[in-house]
């Protein structure tokens, strides 16, 4: 009970703090690392919620895949130690107002709502169930999305290739500075 709560508080504190650091840090690589921390903490929450499979996916795909992708791209496009100029003050203020307003709105609305747990028994989430559901063609079966997402992944692959592919008149390999 208490340990649950302590864990939750720990994870959520990490998530919130690192989230904020991710979006405020002026060093890009550090931001990426903070993001990693957020994602890892989130997977901790998933564990708490008994979704071990998803936690694993989160760790591998998100923390492992996407963050690595991001770091690679950072390396391609930025100097490691490069510091950002601070964001324009007006922009920060307005964005903050918008975000906080949105958050307050959402939180008020959520807290206003009476979530009532259903009486139905929880299913044991094991790999077999996940696999069966994923391949089921019946109600509550996910084979169709599963198939379609494969198309999506293929499309994304081709899309990324299209952009990376040579063709057309290249200006020069080394990018020139943008002309004002």
Partner 1 sequence: MSTGIPVQYFLVLATIMFFTGIYGFLTRRNLITMLMSVELILNAVNINFLAFNRYLYPHKLEGMFFSLFIIAVAASEAAVAIAIVINIYRRFATINVEDVNEMKH
Partner 2 sequence: MSLGTFFIMRHELLLITAALLVLIAEIFVDAGKKRSISLFSVIIFGVITLAGFIPSPTGTVFGGMYISSGTTLLMKNILNIGVFLVFIQSLTWLKKEENSEKISEYFILLIFTLTGMNFMISAGHFLMFYIGIELATIPIAALAAFDRYRNKSAEAGIKLIFSSALSSGILLYGLSMIYGTTGTLYFSEVAKLFVNNNLQILAFIFFFAGMAFKISIVPFHLWTADVYEGSPINITSYLSVISKGAAVFVLIIILYTVFPVIMGTWQKTIYVTAILTMTIGNLFAIRQQNLKRFLAFSSISQAGYILLGFIGGNQLGMASVIYYILVYIFSNLGAFGVVTAISNATGKENMDDYNGLYQTNPKLSLIMMLALFSLAGIPPVAGFFGKFFLFTAAAQKGFYLLVLIAVLNTIISLFYYLLVVKAMFINKNENPIEKFRSDFPTRFALGLCVAGIVITGFASIIFEAIKNLSFGV
Partner 3 sequence: MINFSYTIWIPLLPFFMFIFLGLAGHKYFPKLSGILGTCGLAIITVLSYITAYKYFFTTEKVDGAFQKITAFNTTWLQFTDKLHIDLGVLLDPISVMMLVVITTVSLMVHIYSLGYMKGEKGFERFFAFLSLFSFSMLGLVLATNIFQMYIFWELVGVSSFLLIGFYYQKPSAVRASKKAFIVTRFADLGFLIGILILSFNTKTFDFISLTDPSGTAITQGSGIGFLGLSIMTWSMIFVFMGGVGKSAMFPFHIWLPDAMEGPTPVSALIHAATMVVAGVYLVARMFPIYALAAPVALNIVAYVGAFSSIFAAIIACTQTDIKRVLAYSTMSQIGYMMLALGVSGYGGHEGLGYMASMFHLFTHAMFKALLFLGAGAIIHAVHSNHMTEMGGLRKYLPITHITFLIACLTIAGIPPLSGFFSKDEILAAALHHNKLLFAVEYAVAGLTAFYMFRLYFSVFWGKETAYHHTPHEAPATMTIPLIILAIGSVLTGFIPFNQLVTSDGRAFESELELMVAIPSVLIGLLGIGIAYILYKKESAIPDKLAATFKYSYKWAYNKFYMDEVYLFVTKKIIFKLISEPVAWFDRNVVDATMNAIASVTQGVSFRIRGFQSGQLQKYGFVFITGAIMLAILFIYLWK
| Residue ranges that bind partner 2, judged by CB under 8 A | 105-106, 109-110, 112-113, 115, 118, 136-145, 148-149, 151-152, 154-156, 158-163, 165-171
Site mask for partner 1 (CB under 8 A), range 78-117, x = bound: x-----xx-x---xx--xx-xxx-xx--xx--xx---xxx
**Which segment (9-17, 18-26, 101-109, 172-180) binds partner 3 by CB under 8 A?**
101-109
* Helix residue ranges per DSSP H, 1-142: 2-24, 28-48, 52-57, 67-77, 89-112, 127-135
Helix (H, G, I), strand (E, B) or coil at 9: helix
Site for partner 1 in 20-79 (CB under 8 A): 20, 22-24, 28, 31-32, 35, 38-39, 42, 45-51, 53-54, 57-58, 61-62, 65-66, 69-70, 73-74, 76-78
Residue 136: half-sphere exposure toward Cβ, Cα within 13 Å: 10
Calpha distance 43→59 (Å, rounded) = 7
The C-alpha angle with vertex 48 and arms to 144 and 65, in degrees rounded to 5, equals 55
CB of 102 to partner 3, least distance (A): 5
Helix (H, G, I), strand (E, B) or coil at 20: helix
State yes or no: residue 128 binds partner 1 (CB under 8 A): no
Q: Which is nearer to partner 2, 6 or 100 (CB)?
A: 100
> In 10 A of CB 61, how many CB atoms?
12
Q: What, of partner 1, partner 2, partner 3, none, does residue 89 touch, CB below 5 to 8 Å by kind?
A: none
Calpha distance 73→29 (Å, rounded) = 10
Diameter over CA atoms, the chain: 65
Interaction site with partner 3 (CB under 8 A): 91, 94-95, 98-99, 101-102, 105, 109
């Amino acid at each position: 009970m208490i340990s649950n709560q302590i864990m939750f508080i720990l994870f959520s504190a990490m998530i919130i703090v690192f989230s904020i650091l991710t979006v405020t840090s002026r060093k890009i690589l550090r931001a990426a690392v903070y993001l990693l921390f957020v994602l890892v903490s989130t997977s901790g929450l998933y564990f708490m919620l008994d979704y071990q499979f998803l936690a694993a996916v989160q760790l591998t795909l998100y923390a492992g895949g996407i963050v690595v992708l991001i770091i690679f791209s950072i390396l391609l496009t930025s100097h490691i130690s490069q510091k950002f100029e601070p964001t324009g003050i007006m922009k920060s203020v307005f964005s903050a107002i918008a975000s906080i307003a949105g958050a307050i709105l959402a939180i008020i609305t959520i807290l206003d709502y009476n979530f009532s747990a259903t009486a139905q028994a929880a299913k044991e989430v094991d790999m077999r169930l996940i696999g069966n559901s994923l391949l089921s063609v019946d109600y509550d079966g996910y084979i169709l999305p599963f198939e379609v997402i494969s198309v999506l992944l293929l499309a994304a692959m081709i899309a990324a290739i299209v952009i990376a592919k040579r063709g057309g008149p290249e200006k020069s390999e080394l990018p020139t500075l943008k002309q004002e």
